[in-house]
């Protein structure tokens, strides 16, 4: 074995710090939000869970360039798995998360084996069709899923045996934020690893990556499974925090919303996923409280604006503005 050249360079230390950066930012932001909006914790928790979900989508769309419209499939499987475990087996939240992750990963593995052989419009269609099949199956299997009524009354035991989930949602919020920080750390490690580099290579040009010997299909399935596990975690968190799982978890609009949030913020970068989710959820909350239907005007114009003016998302706004200023 030859020793890697970079292993002892100072860059190594800098990378390990930058790996922690997104998690630290999120923790600081969450602490601030916790102090500033102590009465909106359930809404903040929803945002945090959505962030986990969008970050998982960023792994497949932003890193590997796989565009699907069926990411809700894994989220829903995680939610149902965690809900069923809590109802029938054990109310432990951490176990529920693990089961949710496994359910998401298994779903992603099965569907990924078929999905990732295709691309473009066919991939979009099959991913939509699979989510529809799951939704229909969930609504038919009344004995297991409760059909259209869903699973209700899911309760979880105190976190780590110590912290009881309270009425205001403080524990739920801290719990979700910790999970988000962990997920971000994992994703950051993944992105800065050779595997992450291979994914960005596949996004750039799959045929060239194949030519230099990367097993493109296997890499894609791997990242799809990892993203599926994280989406499953997001679903499991939703089930535990809200105590409900309905067939809406497989809604097409959820998959579309996730894509919109990611593109709004900027695909390919974790901060983009976080910013996009925050903006989308807050605007949604405000617009929907005025008039639920005007929300579609807002999001429609926002989408067209982003695609036409800021194709790399809001995260590219500063560079874009400086570019424009420099030109004039």
Partner 1 sequence: MSLILSIVVDGVAYGMILFMISVGLSITMGLMRIINLAHGGFALLGGAAVHLLTTHLDVAFIPALLAAVLAVVLLSVLLERLLYRHIYGFNELGQVLATIGIVFIMIATVNLFLGSTILPLGVPASFTTSIDLGFRTLPFHRLVVIISGLFVLAGLWLLMEKTKFGIYLRAAVDNRVAAASLGINTPVVYLVTFAIGAGLAAVGGILGAELLPIEAYYPLRYMVLFLIVVSVGGLGSVSGSFVASIGLGILDTAGRYLLPGLGTIFFFVAIAVLLALRPNGLMGRAQ
| Residues forming the site for partner 1 (CB under 8 A) | 61, 67, 69, 114, 117-118, 120-122, 124-126, 128-130, 132-133, 136-137, 140, 252-253, 256, 259-260, 263, 267, 293-294, 296-297, 299-304, 306-308, 311
**DSSP label at residue 142:** H
Residue number with CB closer to partner 1 (236 or 261) = 261
Identify the residue whose tokens are 């499974």: 225
* DSSP label of 159: B
In the numeric block, which tokens belong to residue 33? 């939000």
Spatial distance between the Cα atoms of 256 and 267, rounded to a whole number of angstroms: 14
- Residue 18 or 118: which CB sits closer to partner 1? 118
State which residue, 73 or 270, has the beta carbon closest to partner 1.
73
CA dihedral sign of residues 8, 26, 55, 301: negative
Phi-psi region of 89 (alpha: psi -120 to 50; beta: other; left: phi over 0): alpha
Q: Closer to partner 1 at the Cβ: 96 or 112?
A: 112
Can you say whether the dihedral through the CA atoms of 103, 109, 112, 114 is positive or negative? Answer: negative
Q: Which is nearer to partner 1, 279 or 299 (CB)?
A: 299
Pick from 246, 219, 264, 307: nearest CA to 54: 264
Q: How far is the CB of 126 from partner 1 (least distance, A)?
A: 5
CA distances from residue 7 to 12, 13, 21, 48, 194 in whole angstroms, order as listed: 7, 10, 21, 35, 13
Q: How far apart are CB 130 and partner 1 at their closest, in Å?
A: 6
Of 12 and 210, the one with the shorter C-beta distance to partner 1 is 210
| Sole residue written with tokens 């560079």 | 319
- Which CB, 33 or 260, lies closer to partner 1? 260
Of the candidates 202, 145, 193, the one whose C-alpha atom is nearest the C-alpha of residue 19 is 193
Q: How far is the CB of 185 from partner 1 (least distance, A)?
A: 27
Buried b / exposed e over 73-105, threshold 16 CB at 10 Å, is: bbbbbbbbbbbbbbbeeeebbebbbbbbbbbbb
Closest distance between partner 1 and the C-beta of residue 154, in Å? Answer: 26
3-state secondary structure of 163: strand
Shortest CB 111 distance to partner 1, Å: 9
Cα dist. 216→64, 123, 257 in Å? 10, 16, 28
The minimum distance between CB 267 and partner 1, in angstroms, equals 8
Where would I find the beta strands (DSSP E) of 70-202? none
- Least separation in angstroms between CB 301 and partner 1: 7
Least gap, CB of 290 to partner 1 (angstroms): 13
Q: How far is the CB of 84 from partner 1 (least distance, A)?
A: 20
Cβ nearer to partner 1, comparing 92 with 203: 203
Q: Among residues 41 and 264, whose Cβ is nearest to partner 1?
A: 264
């Amino acid at each position: 074995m030859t020793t890697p050249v970079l292993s002892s360079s100072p860059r190594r230390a800098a990378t390990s710090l930058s790996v922690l950066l997104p998690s630290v930012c999120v923790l600081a932001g969450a602490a601030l939000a916790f102090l500033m909006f102590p009465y909106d914790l359930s809404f903040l928790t929803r945002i945090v869970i959505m962030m986990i979900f969008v970050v998982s989508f960023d792994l497949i769309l932003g890193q590997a360039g796989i565009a699907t419209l069926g990411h809700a499939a894994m989220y829903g499987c995680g939610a149902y798995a965690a809900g069923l475990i809590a109802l029938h087996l054990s109310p432990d939240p951490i176990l529920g998360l693990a089961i949710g992750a496994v359910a998401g990963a298994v779903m992603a593995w099965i569907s990924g084996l078929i999905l990732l052989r295709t691309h473009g419009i066919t991939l979009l269609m099959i991913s939509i069709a699979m989510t529809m099949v799951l939704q229909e199956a969930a609504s038919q299997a009344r004995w297991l899923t409760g059909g259209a009524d869903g699973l209700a009354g899911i309760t979880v035991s105190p976190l780590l045996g110590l912290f009881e989930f309270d009425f205001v949602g403080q524990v739920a919020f801290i719990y979700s934020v910790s999970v988000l920080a962990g997920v971000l750390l994992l994703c950051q490690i993944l992105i800065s690893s050779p595997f992450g580099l291979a994914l960005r290579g596949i996004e750039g040009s799959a045929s060239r990556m194949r030519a230099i010997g990367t097993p493109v299909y296997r890499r894609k399935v791997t990242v799809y499974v990892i993203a599926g596990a994280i989406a499953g975690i997001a679903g499991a968190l939703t089930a535990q925090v809200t105590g409900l799982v309905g067939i809406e978890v497989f809604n097409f609009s959820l998959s579309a919303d996730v894509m919109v949030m990611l593109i709004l913020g900027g695909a390919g970068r974790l901060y983009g996923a976080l910013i996009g989710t925050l903006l989308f959820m807050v605007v949604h909350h405000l617009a929907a409280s005025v008039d639920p239907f005007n929300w579609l005007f807002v999001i429609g114009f926002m989408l067209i604006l982003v695609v036409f003016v800021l194709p790399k998302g809001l995260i590219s706004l500063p560079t874009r503005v400086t570019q424009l200023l420099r030109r004039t």
